[in-house]
């Protein structure tokens, strides 16, 4: 009796697989293919955070030097901006959803693809310029060029365009344009991922939250945003499946069967990488401010992100339903440094740390008055 039941179950499973293939036109993914796809997505997610965080430290030092020279504070996300960010994201998401409902998906994607074509080339150039420059033959000189466009004259002049580049940068632009053309014409998933990884690394490097409370406000707000739009409506899933631009990383689950022409993709949005990534990068800068030998807050939270992403993939596979990744990533990324700070006695230092301490207006005005007084005397 048990053997007959098992045979019926196996036959039913085979029938379901055959029906799914007939309806979707896709080869059903094997266990090996799914493991490879999910594993590749995890690797493509953690590498931009790791390298982007260290690049963010260098960028932060450059900002500090510029701040000392000019006296102007760098632009960072305020608490108010962090609080309203989920609402702005919701408006954008609904706007895209309406566009896909009103206009043909192909038409919307063509316009967006042209826009991201230029953004992707710039992001890829910023990332690969040092590498390509080192590979350029010595026969090509590093001749410098300077494009300048100013408004006004004398002391009132204002730079609108002030860009310096060399011949190696032009070579880099040509190479990245080839990748962009490949993406624009073929929409190949490898070209999509090259642009996506470039966006992710640049995002973690260049987008900064000034302190931990701002990061907590941002991530907590986005947790509710992600959970609502995934579980509450079909808006997020519809836009993600329709949106054919490089703001998500993809990897085919049927690559073992169909090779590079595979089409059954697992995907991960760049927001699930960049937004936790800028908070993890902040923790690396906090570690550096402590002047300790180990970057314990960075590595602990980086590992927590990895475990949260792994949990997301497992739950998505078990329930066979799209999951809001931030629902698992945010508690992991916020809880880990807070608990670690409690254990090490660094809680006050963690929440009082600022990348760029804000100078109170009264102090700033007093300092300015003192400077003017010295000039008069």
Nearest to 55 by CA among 323, 335, 285: 285
Answer yes or no: 155 catalytic. no
Looking at 75, 155, 169, 226, which residue is catalytic? 226
150: phi then psi, degrees, rounded to nearest 5: -115, 155
CA atoms within 13 A on the CB side of 304: 25
Instruction: Check the CA dihedral 116-206-287-80 and report its sign.
Output: negative
Pull the structure tokens for residue 250.
Answer: 């993809």
148: phi then psi, degrees, rounded to nearest 5: -130, 135
Residue 108 · residue 245 · CB < 8 Å: no
The span from the CA of 96 to the CA of 287, in Å, is 39
Answer yes or no: 272 catalytic. yes
Looking at 169, 254, 272, 346, which residue is catalytic? 272
**Residue 144 bridge partners (DSSP):** 166
Q: What percent of the residues of the chain are helix, what percent strand, and what percent coil, each to the nearest 5? A: 75, 10, 20
Residue 201 · residue 52 · CB < 8 Å: yes
Identify the residue whose tokens are 């036959």: 11
**DSSP per-residue letters across 304-319:** HHHHHHHHHHHHHHHH
Q: Which residues are catalytic?
A: 226, 272
């Amino acid at each position: 009796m048990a053997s007959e039941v098992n045979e019926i179950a196996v036959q039913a499973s085979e029938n379901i697989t055959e029906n799914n293939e007939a309806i979707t036109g896709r080869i059903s993914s094997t266990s090996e293919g799914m493991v490879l796809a999910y594993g590749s997505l995890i690797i493509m997610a953690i590498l931009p955070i790791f390298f982007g965080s260290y690049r963010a430290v260098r960028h932060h030092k450059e900002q500090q030097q510029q701040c000392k020279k000019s006296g102007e504070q760098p632009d960072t996300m305020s608490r108010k901006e962090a609080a309203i960010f989920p609402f702005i994201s919701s408006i954008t998401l609904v706007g895209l959803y309406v566009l896909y409902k009103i206009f043909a998906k192909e038409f919307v994607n063509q316009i967006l693809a042209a826009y991201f074509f230029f953004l992707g080339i710039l992001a890829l150039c910023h990332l690969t310029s040092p590498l390509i420059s080192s590979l350029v033959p010595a026969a090509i000189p590093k001749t410098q060029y300077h494009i300048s466009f100013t408004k006004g004259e004398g002391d009132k002049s204002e730079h609108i365009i002030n860009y310096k580049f060399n011949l190696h940068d032009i070579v880099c632009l040509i190479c990245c344009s080839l990748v962009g053309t490949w993406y624009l014409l073929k929409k190949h998933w490898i070209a999509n991922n090259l642009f996506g990884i470039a966006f992710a690394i640049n995002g973690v490097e260049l987008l900064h939250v000034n302190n931990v409370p701002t990061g907590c406000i941002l991530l907590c707000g986005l947790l509710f945003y992600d959970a609502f739009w995934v579980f509450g409506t079909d808006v997020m899933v519809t836009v993600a499946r329709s949106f054919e631009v490089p703001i998500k990383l993809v990897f085919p689950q049927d690559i073992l069967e169909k090779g590079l022409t595979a089409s059954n993709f697992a995907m991960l949005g760049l927001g699930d990488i960049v937004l936790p990534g800028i908070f993890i990068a902040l923790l690396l800068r906090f570690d550096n401010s402590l002047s300790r030998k180990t970057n314990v807050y960075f590595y602990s939270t980086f590992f927590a992100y990895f475990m949260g992403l792994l949990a997301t993939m497992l739950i998505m596979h078990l329930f066979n339903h799209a999951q809001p990744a931030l629902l698992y990533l945010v508690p992991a990324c916020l809880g880990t440094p807070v608990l670690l700070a409690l254990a090490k006695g660094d809680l006050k230092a963690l929440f009082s740390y600022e990348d760029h301490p804000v100078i109170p207006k009264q102090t700033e005005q007093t300092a300015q008055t003192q400077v003017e007084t010295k000039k008069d005397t």
